[in-house]
Amino acid sequence: GPIPFLHRVLFVQSDEADGPSANRNSYPTAYALAWFAKYLLPFLVGEMTLTSTSTTTTTAHNETDNTDIFNTGIGGGLLVERCRVLEGSNCKGICAKMCKVPTERFFAERWGMPLSMEPNFETGSCQLRFGVVPLPLEEDATIPSGCLGRCPAAGEGGCD
């Protein structure tokens, strides 16, 4: 549709070395995306609460604090309270490879807006932070190593 295209043309700078990166003037887009997602996507992922991009997600494995490229620390975040993907699959591989990575890629490529998704496998929640560049999957501390104990593929060699 025309809205992502217009956003990229008006607000996003492209750096050939790093790919698309959001311009400081596009921080309202992060807030708008979070707001619209909260009201338009609960049927897909579950109920959500608006949060900050500087919200730190704590898991049993590590604490993450990616850099907010807008340096505002307010708005632009969204907490999926009980993610339907996590709850339905009980599998970190499905979460990471069928939801997290494709969604982060979609927003980076289609909107030119980085999105960091930080699942919490203990609580079943997921923190989304628009305007925050995600870590590569292999460096992301929110993704535990090995299978989850409740994963259906755990007894079949895992899903890494």
Query: What are residue 68's DSSP bridge partners?
Result: 132
CB atoms within 10 A of CB 91: 22
**Bridge partners of residue 63, in order along the sequence:** 58
Q: What is the pLDDT of residues 140-154, one digit of tens each?
A: 888 877 777 766 666
Residues (pLDDT < 50) of the chain are: 14-25, 55-72
- What is the value of pTM for the model shown? 0.72
Spacing of C-alpha 29 from chain mean position: 15
Q: Do 113 and 29 contact (CB within 8 A), yes or no? A: yes
